[in-house]
Structures are given as C-alpha cells and as structure tokens.
Chains A and B, each alone.
Chain A
Amino acid sequence: MRHIISLLMENEAGALSRVAGLFSARGYNIESLTVAPTEDETLSRMTIVTRGSDDVIEQITKQLNKLIDVVKVVDLSEAGHIERELMLVKVRAEDGLREEMKRMSDIFRGRIIDVTDKTYTIELTGAGYKLDAFLEALDKGAILETVRTGASGIGRGDRILKA
C-alpha cells in the first residue's frame, strides 16, 4: 500500500540524512521525499511517500518517531488529506504541435511559463496520478524534459500537524 507520511523535525544540519539513512539502513522504500522549513524556521516539514504492508508502515512511523530530532510524525493516508505535486515539463512546440500542446496544457489546467519558437515549458500541479496522466496523454516523442518535486501533503479539515 502507498502511504504518505508527514513529519516535523528540528531544522538542523544533517536532519535529512538521518531520515534518508534510516530508510536505506532498514530497507524501506522511498518513492519521493520533500523537505523545507516551515513558518517556524526552527522546524522542517518533510513529506515522504512510501510503500509497504501495514506492519512495515507501522515500523517506519515508529522508527521515525525514535529519531531524536523528530518532533511529530503522522501517516496522512490514515484519514482525509490533500496531496499536491508540482511538475515542470518541457515539450516540443513546433509548427503542427504548438496548438495541440496549448490545448493539452489547458485541459490539465497547466500553465505555460516559458516559450521559445520550438518549445513550451508547462507548469502543472496536482496529485501524482494527475501528473502521470498528463505525461501519458502526451506523445512520448514530444516530451523533452520533466522535473517533479515529489508530493507534499496536508490533512483535510481541522486535522493539524503542529509541534
């Protein structure tokens, strides 16, 4: 099962490597990992997308909690949550393709943020599957480059993760 784990940790040097090291040392999967400071600059918030059985996910959350610098851990997928990922895609936009690319971008609510006479760079935000769907909808040959941030997540409603 795919899980999205969110955690708050002390914003100190080496924080990221403690988490990454834990995942590699214990053989857990990381599908994506994003990290940045929060509005409280002493704290970093990390979102980790991982896969594993319920037992493995339980161990992952326990092991994360065990890290001395980790303040809080929550498995967002346990309840309602919102997940977003940002993707930038550079595509071919020559003669015949130009209109087609613009239309695809519009359908997926993307924005064209850079234009040359041969390419468009499209910015797209959404859940991971939506970004996947966009890439699948394009002709493979038209994609020049993609970059994705990995998912960020937040609980729905008044579910709040705070130190």
Chain B
Amino acid sequence: MELTGAEIVVRCLAEEGVEFVFGYPGGAVLNIYDEIFKQDKFKHVLVRHEQAAAHAADGYARATGRTGVALVTSGPGATNAVTGIATAYMDSIPLVVISGQVPTPAIGMDAFQEVDMVGITRPCVKHNFLVKDVKDIAETIKKAFYIASTGRPGPVVVDIPKDVTQHKAEFSYPKSVKMRSYNPVTKGHPGQIKRAVQMLLEAKRPMLYTGGGAVLSNAAEELTQFARLLGFPVTSTLMGLGGYPASDPQFTGMLGMHGTYEANMAMQHCDVLVAIGARFDDRVIGNPEHFFQDGRRIIHIDIDPASIAKRVKVDVPIVGSVKEVLAEMVKLIKASKERPEPAALKTWWTQIELWRSRDCMKYDRDSSLIKPQYVIEKMHEITRGEAYVTSDVGQHQMWAAQYYKFDQPRHWINSGGLGTMGFGLPAAMGVQFAHPEAAVACITGEGSIQMNIQELATCKQFNLPLKIILLNNRYLGMVRQWQEFFYGNRYSESYMDALPDFVKLAESYGHVGMRIEQPGDVEGALKEAFAMKERLVFMNFITDQTENVYPMIPAGKGLNEMILV
C-alpha cells in the first residue's frame, strides 16, 4: 500500500522504537504533525522554543544512550534548533533532527520561511540530508539513525520539503543499512593493544585520563575493572565524570582549567599517560608547549582517528571503541604474569597523596553568606549522589562538576564542548522523560536560566517534577571572575540587574518557588524540595557574590601553574 511521505516519517520513527519526539509545529511540517495526531506509538513533547527541542532530545540521549529525536519546521524553526544541534555535535551526542523545508519547487526562491538548513548545519552535524523524493525517506531515516548512533556519535539532520511529505510511495523500512563510505571501526588493533599493555606494565608513574568517550561507549564497567586491576590513579574530564566512580580512592578528581591540584600535577608529571575517549582539549591540558616540558609516553584510545594526534603527538594510537579496547586490555593484563613495579607505584601514590593533602577544594565553611559549593555538597548528600544532574554554563557548572561526586555514568549532563547557556533546563526535561521516577536536578545560574526559562511551561504541561537549583550571585559569575583576574576588576556588563522575582515567576508557571538566603536554611530547603516528588521546585539560592571557582589555570598556562585558594 502506498503511504504519504508524512505517514512514512511517522512509521519510520515508530520502527526505530522512538519513545519521544521533542518538537514544535509549523507550516512545513503540518503534514507530519497531522500523522503524529493519528498515532500512539511515540509521544510528542511540545516545547516552547525549538532550541529546547534539540536540548531536550540531547538530554534524553545522554541519560539513556539512545538516539534523541527532534522535529522542527522550516526557516526560523530550523535555525532556532541550530544551537542545540551544535551543542550535541561538540559533545558527540546521537540526535536525529527532522526539519521541514519549503516545497521543492520553492527551494531557492527565497520562499516564506525558507532557509538552507543543509547548508547552515553542515559544519555542526555528523551528516545531513535533503530528501527530494518520497521514495528516499525511509532509507534516509534509517541511515540517519545508523550514522547518529555508531562510530563517534553525533547529530544528523534530515531536511524534508513539504511536498515530499504529501507525495506517496510504497513503504518498507530497511532492516539494516550498509554504506561503502562509512564503516566505523570498533575493535582496536591487536598489535597496538599489546604494545600499550606492555607500556602500562612497565610504567612507574602512570595516569589514566578518561573522557566523554568512556561514557558514550558505555565502558564504565570495563574502565573500573581496568583501573582497579592496575591500581593506577584516574582523572576525568568534565565530560567523563561518572565514567569512573568519584568516591573511589583511585579517583583524583576532574582535571583541567578547574581541575584538582592532584589530578593536574599527576598529569604533568606522569611517565605513561593513557587517554581514554578524551581529546586533549584546550580546557584540559592548557598550553601544549607547557604540557610537553615534562616528557611522557602517551597511549590514546579513541573511536575517531581524527581525534588522535590532533593536539598532541602520541606514542601508541589505538582506534576503536573504548569499551572493546579496554575489555581487550583487561584480558591481556589478566593473562600476563607481569605487574607494574609495586615500589614505584607506591612512591607515585605517596606523591599524589601529598598533592591531594593540599586540599585544593576547600572553601570558607563559616561564611555568613551561602557558599555555592555548600549547596552542591548538601544536595549531593540529600540525593545520596544518585540524582541526574544537568547544568548550564559558568561557575555553577564547575561547582556542580567539582562538588557533586558522580559515581555512575550518564548522570552528569552538561554542555562541555560548546558551552551553551540555556542547556540545563530543557536537557533536564529530556532526562526526566527518560527516567520518570528519578530525581532530576538542574543546577543553574540566573544568567543561564533566563536563556530558556520559557520551558517552565513545558514542565507544567507534562508534570515534570524537576528540581531547579539556581545559584544566584547577581553576576554572570564566570565572566565576572575573568574580569576580576585578568581585566583589573572592570566588571563590564556582567552584573545581572533587574532580575525577576524567581519565586513569583515559578508560581506563575504553576510550580513551587523558594528563596533561600541563609546558610542555615540550605539543608532544610533542599530536603523539603526533593521530598516533593510530584512538583517542580524552583530554588533561588542567594549566594556569595564574590565567590570564585578554584583552582584555576589561566588560559594559555601550563597544568602546573594553577591559582589556588
């Protein structure tokens, strides 16, 4: 039987087992929305801005490992989604974004709500398609899901002109797809793995540096096994948090610009470094020249060959999925009689403990003002470290990463690569849809939350009991911090004036609002809020305005040039 293009789109999503489509209707996608109305295979979530559709799909994907789906109309609907697509691209998150397009004969005519979506998104997608023939819809959507979720994951845009959704074709959904131009490698090269294991067994000052790739490939178990078997210290990037349990003594904390003293010093002074699904980002190793003042051998495991030897030269490159490569390495280590020299490892650990005793994360616990770090610590305690935590971008993001000790993967959800303010709330919606029973918190700032605050309406419509933890310091805190450190205290445009009354604002959207001004009230308020399992609670914590994120490596400096408290 012949189906219309719109019916085919909806059938394809059902065939893929999609649970939620985050979207916003408009002219070019009306046919698709009409078919959505008639079906019950998946739920459509109406957001209040297309950027939020992409972020919500992204949050869903990060929290589940499945591909998130967003649906937007042509023109402004499509361009609004671009920030969300770029966010997913930078963090390698599998998304399929379907955008409407003006009818094929109108393409290139500057038609109403026309934009070259394939052209606009080309630099920020893993791949994109313009479907010009109804017969190609099913295969294209199959390819889109395949490309988005395999290899190094990423967003894929499928742009469908309105007339193509009206035309008819026979529908059959391909069971599998094969592409001669796309065959991602998952198994590491056995010779390279052997060389790496040998290097590890000979290491005297080893360091494991794990990143988002460990989380994306669901390798937490293999990583923990690997690290424990060797007894090596572990650090993680912002994106890798939760890949290795933060409460484990072998974990030295996050590294990088706002990483711990012990993790950064160990990175700088190790003799064998294993990069596991991490990419030596500028926020991680600072200035590569400083990084290489101390020599070390580097093993780099990554599924994307282009991530290897991009910023630093490596000794043993291994292209493959982190999960498979680590499992292979564990097997080899178990089979080997050799072990790293215990005396050397002991000396190395003594050194690390000495660095750790510097207690770089300390802050003033006797302050009469609410310290943002304290709020996160308390929240960690009250949620027993089990909450899903999303964040926006800025100081609050760093404090969340530093003080909420993530023991499980896919629980820490933030925009690491693109650094998108406004990500937290819509991402939290996606997480809550994925895990309706779980505690989901969005840690945010008064700058970030206002970038997608309209989503409080979506939360109301779908009864999402999120906990919004607003660390309100009346400043764009990270901007203010840089202005204090590097711009002579000239706080150019970083003061957040004319803030709304967040309690009333939350209430007007039908939620619970709280304002907390005293350190003594923090714990009680958090307990009360997390006990309200059916309601969204918006908690406005009035925090110390002058608090900074420490430690800090100024941009362009080396890992051993930290500013400490």
Contact = CB atoms under 8 A, between A and B. Distances in A.
Contacts of B304: 66
A18 to B, nearest CB: 6
Nearest to B156: A68
A14 B181 contact: no
A68 B127 contact: yes
Interface in A45-91: 55, 58-59, 62-63, 65-66, 68-71
A13 B108 CA distance: 14
Nearest to B306: A62
B180 interface: yes
Interface in B120-160: 122-123, 126-127, 130, 147
B122 A17 contact: yes
A163 B126 CA distance: 22
A21 B123 contact: yes
B27 interface: no
A55 B309 contact: yes
Most buried by A among B118, B122, B309: B122
B112 interface: no
A13 B147 CA distance: 18
Interface string B307-344: 00110000000000000000000000000000000000
B182 interface: yes
A101 interface: no
A9 B127 CA distance: 14
B305 interface: yes
A17 B180 contact: no
Contacts of A70: 181
A123 interface: no
Nearest to A163: B180
B500 interface: no
Nearest to B313: A55
Interface string B219-233: 000000000000000
B153 to A, nearest CB: 13
Interface string A1-45: 000000001100110011001000100000000000000000000
Interface string B419-442: 000000000000000000000000
B180 A63 contact: no
A58 to B, nearest CB: 7
Contacts of A10: 181
Contacts of B122: 14, 17-18, 21
Contact of A13 (B130, B181, B182, B309): B130
Given A13-B130, A68-B182, A59 B123 contact: no
Nearest to A10: B181
B108 to A, nearest CB: 12
B191 interface: no
Nearest to A24: B123
Interface in B290-310: 304-306, 309-310
Contact of A68 (B119, B130, B181): B181
B310 A59 contact: yes
B80 to A, nearest CB: 22
A121 B309 CA distance: 48
A156 B126 CA distance: 34
B281 to A, nearest CB: 16
A21 B121 CA distance: 11
Interface string B282-293: 000000000000
Contacts of A13: 130
Interface of B: 118-119, 122-123, 126-127, 130, 147, 179-182, 304-306, 309-310
23 contacts: A13-B130, A14-B118, A14-B122, A14-B130, A18-B122, A21-B123, A25-B123, A55-B309, A59-B309, A62-B305, A63-B306, A66-B304, A66-B305, A66-B306, A68-B126, A68-B127, A68-B147, A68-B179, A68-B182, A69-B127, A70-B181, A71-B181, A163-B180
- A-B pairs with the 4 shortest C-beta distances? A62-B306, A68-B127, A71-B181, A25-B123
